[in-house]
Amino acid sequence: MFVGNKLAAGLIKTSDGIVVDLRNIRSPIVVFCSKGDNITPPQQALDWILDLYDNVDEIRSYGQTIVYTVHETIGHLGIFVSGGVARKEHAEFSSNIDLIDLLPPGLYEATFERKSGDTVNPDLLSGDWIMRCEQRTLDDIRRMGGNAPEDERRFATAARVSEINLSLYRAFAQPMVRSIFTPQLAEWLGRWSPDRLQYTMFADTNPLMKSVANVAEQIYANRKPVSPGNPFLALQEQVSDQIVQVLDDWRERTEKLSEAIFLWVYGSPVLQAALGIDPEEPRPRKPGKSLLHRELLQARIAELKSHIFKGGLQECVIRGLLYVGMARGKVDERGTHALRQVRLNEGAQQMTLAEFKAMAREQFLLLLLEPDATLAAIPKLLPSSVDERQKGLAAIRKVLGASGEISGEAAQRMKRVVTLFETTEAPLPGPTSVPFPSTEKAKAS
């Protein structure tokens, strides 16, 4: 995953010869990391994104949605087992799958804000926290540090040394080890390993420990809490704090020493040159580009542009929502819940949630490719009914206002959308789109 990073570099193949390419993942990817994690810090947990992509536009070209969140303090194991994290981040992610799934392709950071008395539309929240997804760029990851070209070359050198050592072991040492250490001998040595003996010596299987087990049961049956002023309790806390301090100090010193040795050994220009590491290559493990993907991308762009003048009220509402919302650069769960409640063209056949998500992504990509032409087409796609147009505007205002007041550049864009919806032009012939999925239909999907 990290030394050599064959997964991100596209060097892993399945049993039938298919290359595993992370860029082919179409479901949204959620990355949870923490600044308190000294095993896999955020820089390392997110570094694969820099390996795969040159910019956010390339992420979008693959139709990928990546959402990451950075905790401030939790440690490596706490990410998975902490009750506080489970109640907050894990619960919010699981209850807002639709928000993540509706996000247009790109890179986002999920942030969490506790609900308070000043929170706008608290009835649209599913828990005690407001989950907000904010647009990010690759520079936001680079600013975390730890992803310099020098570090990449050091890791590439370590990977090359590891591969050489493995080849030497398999060629010379492995046959000898297999001839000497039979499975029976290996099992016997495992049983007498010091790491295992320190537990088995004090297990119930040891006859000498039966008396200790009896004493332990008696002590447990007669346990009584001591008073807060007990001097032994204070001494226990003091000794415990000192042990923690000593262990933390030892860990920090050993980690700094290990890091210094790693930087010195694998950063040596002589060693890198001997192993064939190019000193000018910024990211030695970056996967190659696909010419086929570029051809498919151009075909997809041409297909998208042909859809500028297709659709009806549904597409126009989504175009307006996305155009105004792009000025904010963030989306929170209240907007998603408000979107569920919006219904247009009650009598028409309902659109499934999957169809709605595909349509919303298509409108977003159109706004990226041809923003002026996509907006200019709105008056031609809208129905002639003034009531239907006003209903569409009301839907846009409701969804955008769910997370707060529309202000700044978003307000200016909203004025442009209102002008487009109030411009009377003959609608284009052909069927209009179907309505938003209802809340019940969306949940069923």
Question: pLDDT-derived band of residue 427, with 50, 70 and 90 as boundaries?
Answer: low
Alpha carbon dihedral 70, 76, 80, 83, in 10-degree steps, equals -80
* Total Cβ atoms within 10 A of residue 413: 20
Range from 10-14, 241-245, 351-355, 440-444 carrying the lowest mean pLDDT: 440-444
Residue-level pLDDT at 145: 83
16 SS3 class: coil
CA distance 124 to 120: 9
Please give the angle made by the CA atoms of 352, 356 and 361, to the nearest 5 degrees: 150
Q: Taking residues 257-268, what's their average pLDDT?
A: 94
pLDDT digits (tens, 9 = 90+) for 118-136: 888 888 777 778 888 999 9
Closest C-alpha to 339, from 103, 111, 106, 113: 103
Tell me the average pLDDT across 412-437.
69
pLDDT at site 284: 66
DSSP element (H, E) containing 439: helix 439-444
Contact predicate 311/355, CB 8 Å:
no
- The reported pLDDT for the residue numbered 174 is 94
Written as one letter, the residue type at 445 is: S
Q: What does the pLDDT average to over 317-342? A: 86
pLDDT of res. 25: 92
Give the pLDDT confidence score for residue 437 in this predicted structure. Answer: 42
CB 81 within 8 A of CB 34: no
* Three-state DSSP class for residue 111: strand
For the segment 377-411, what is each residue's pLDDT rounded down to a tens digit? 999 999 988 999 999 999 999 899 888 888 899 99
> Which residues make beta-bridge pairs with 34?
71
| CA 139 – CA 130 distance, rounded (Å) | 25
Cβ-contact 419, 376 below 8 angstroms: no
CA distance 320 to 410: 11
CA geometry: angle 67, 73, 76, nearest 5 deg: 75
Amino acid at 386: V
Q: pLDDT value at position 348?
A: 46
The Cα 67–Cα 110 span in angstroms is 6
Of 22-26, 36-40, 279-283, 402-406, minimum mean pLDDT range: 279-283
Whether the model clears a pTM of 0.85, i.e. scores above it, the answer is no
**Confidence band of 414 (pLDDT split at 50, 70, 90):** very high
Note the helical H segments in 131-287.
138-142, 149-168, 174-180, 183-191, 194-200, 210-221, 231-266, 269-274
CA distance 107 to 67: 6
Over 80: is that where the pLDDT of 173 sits? yes
Which residues, at least 6 apart from 445, have a Cβ–Cβ distance to it below 8 Å? 352, 353, 354, 437
Say what the pLDDT of residue 133 is. Answer: 92
pLDDT at 443: 41
Q: Which residues contact 49 (CB under 8 A, 6 or more apart)?
A: 59, 66, 107, 138, 141
Strand-pair partners of 78: none
Query: Of 144, 161, 163, which is closest to residue 267 (Cα–Cα)?
Result: 161
Query: Quick one: how far is CA 157 from the chain centroid?
Result: 28
The chain-wide mean pLDDT, for the chain, equals 85
pLDDT digits (tens, 9 = 90+) for 263-320: 999 999 999 999 998 888 777 667 888 888 888 899 999 999 999 999 888 899 999 9
Give the type of residue at 274: A
pLDDT at 101 over 70: yes
Q: Six-digit token pair at 96?
A: 């807002």
Q: SS3 string of 43-105?
A: HHHCHHHHHHCCCHHHHHHCCCEEEEEEECCCCCCHHHHCHHHHHHHHHHHHHCHHHHHHCCC
Cβ proximity of 335 and 403 under 8 Å: yes
Residue tagged 């991308």 (tokens): 297
At 433 the pLDDT is: 42
Give the pLDDT confidence score for residue 2 in this predicted structure: 63
